[in-house]
Amino acid sequence: MTSELARLTGFLYEQGLLKRYRRTGWHIVGVGNPESIADHSFRTAVIATVLAAMEDADPERAALLGLLHDTQETRLTDIPYVAKRYLAAAANQDVTADQTRGLPEAVAKVVRGAVDEYEERESTEALCARDADKLECLIQALEYRAQGHQNVQPWIDSSLAALQTSSAKALADEALQEGCLEWLDRVMNGERA
């Protein structure tokens, strides 16, 4: 019988796949080497932290939800939206339950709880994490557009339409106005906060 530590180690190796799996929807607009799922999840967690602070919610909890929101993609991969209409994917909670089966109960409880909360969309932290997922996609689309990929408007539009919190909407409006390297110009010109 496999020990809990062996299963936990396997879980950690499995999560490493997110560093190698790419966000596949960007291939449609010609991005040859899009960001990894782990890249996306990292910035989603940072954005969730920011949004939760702005929405007077728990930034640490929102960050955890953002960090773990796509962990199921180790088994499902990143299925582009155009393909989802033809597939019947398992619920993320079901995949997470399989992934965490046999892990130490304290670990399984944290991971399952975060995924459940994210998917249930009831807490302010979950709304912030979900908005962070969409805002990250919008920002990534703007960066890809700045790199010359001009067909990203559908990603921008769908991300904007999905935002729920006032903080996410305000940040999206600002991101649409500010170029993705204007922050660097300010730093290089000696501007201080």
Instruction: Please give the average per-residue pLDDT across 3-24, as a whole number.
Output: 96
Predicted structure pTM score = 0.94
Instruction: Please give the average per-residue pLDDT across 55-82, as a whole number.
Output: 95
The structure tokens listed for 44 are 């989603």
CA distance 162 to 134: 7
How much is the pLDDT for 82? 85
How much is the pLDDT for 89? 76
Question: Residues 92-117, buried b or exposed e (16+ Cβ, 10 A)?
Answer: beebbbebbebbeeeebeebbebbbb
CA distance 73 to 10: 15
- On the question of pLDDT at 1 being above 70, the answer is no
Q: Each residue of 88-119: pLDDT tens digit?
A: 878 999 999 999 999 999 999 999 999 999 99
Q: Are 17 and 88 in contact (CB under 8 A)?
A: no
Instruction: Look at residues 87, 79, 101, 85 and name the one whose alpha carbon lies nearest to residue 14.
Output: 101
Instruction: Look at residues 29, 107, 115 and name the one whose alpha carbon lies nearest to residue 72.
Output: 115
Query: pLDDT over 70 for what percent of the chain?
Result: 99
Q: Each residue of 120-156: pLDDT tens digit?
A: 999 999 999 999 999 999 999 999 999 999 999 999 9
How much is the pLDDT for 192? 75
Q: How many residues does the chain have?
A: 193
Q: Each residue of 77-86: pLDDT tens digit?
A: 988 888 888 9
Q: What is the mean pLDDT of the chain?
A: 95
